[in-house]
Amino acid sequence: MDEKELKALISLLDDEDKQVSAHVEEKIRSLGTQAIPFLEKEWETNFSPALQSRIESIIHDLQFDLLKERLLGWYNGPSKDLLEGMWIVATIQYPDLDLEKLKQELEQIYYETWLEFRADLHPMDQIKVVNGVLFNKLRFGANTKNFHSPGNSMINIVLETRKGNPITLCVIYMLVAQKLKLPVFGVNLPNLFILTYKDAQNTPFYINAFNRGLIFTRQDIENYINELHLVPQNSFFEPCDNLEIIRRALRNLIMSFEKMGEHAKAEEVKLLLVEISDGGDLGV
């Protein structure tokens, strides 16, 4: 279908004959995301609130279908790239977000860290260098004032505001550290996402990106687990994979939307989480 035909089709969305308008809407939906720019243009030039609302609904559904398709492609793909996964999460709120722009922003943060980094330092000193750049020079930090804001789970917003929640700050930290060839990985703690420095030569230690890169030990985690009255599990101490990180980011987002009273959004994110869950993985 060419541009002229598509425009003509969209113009029939508010046809007085309900059968015609329903058929037209079904046809437009079948075209997928290629119809979105034309729908947006029609929305801007049409002054019927009813038609604008209908167009908004179609655009939203088409964007959600694309989002689901991207997420499933990522889930079924061989690499499960972490930044790509976080980009997909961010497109829940920012469907036009450019992945390449995110890559460039992370590259700049890496470069600024690399300038001060030395490979011959002790692992803890290497981490202190990363901490110094991220939390002192670039002023990344915890968003404690608006902890439940959905923006805290959106990597583009955290890169822009320098404020985020534990998992998004950890993701940025980990992406920079791994590009520096540091063995830094995510760890799924209850109520808190942290990082571990884990290689074959050194005793593993842990990093709390939500607390300016605070370094702590396995014993500190054991104390934390005891305070929560939980039975220790290996997952509380060992690295998790990128899929687990994206699942946790989605669970955080569900909780954020529910706290903000945006229940329809929360339900949509639950549907996305179901797509990449192996069953029994929907607890927030």
Taking phi first (over 0 means left), then psi (-120 to 50 degrees means alpha), and beta for anything else, what does residue 193 get?
beta
Residue 279: predicted pLDDT: 59
Whose tokens are 């009813």? That residue is: 50
Give the mean model confidence (pLDDT) for residues 177-190: 97
* Amino acid letter, residue 151: G
Q: Are 184 and 173 in contact (CB under 8 A)?
A: yes
Q: 14-32, pLDDT tens digit by residue?
A: 777 888 888 888 888 888 8
For residue 246, is pLDDT > 50? yes
When mean pLDDT is compared across 22-36, 59-73, 157-171, 198-212, the lowest value belongs to 22-36
For residue 47, is pLDDT > 80? no
Tokens, residue 211: 């607390």
Strands (E), the chain: 141-142, 163-164, 184-189, 192-197, 205-208, 214-216
The predicted model scores a pTM of: 0.90
In this predicted model, which residue has the larger pLDDT, 29 or 87?
A: 87
Tokens, residue 277: 């869950």
**What is the Cα–Cα distance from 35 to 84, expressed in whole angstroms?**
25
For residue 190, is pLDDT > 70? yes
Confidence of residue 282 (pLDDT cuts 50, 70, 90): very low
Confidence of residue 1 (pLDDT cuts 50, 70, 90): low
For the chain, the 3-state helix, strand and coil shares in percent, each to the nearest 5, are 65, 10, 30
Residue 13: predicted pLDDT: 80
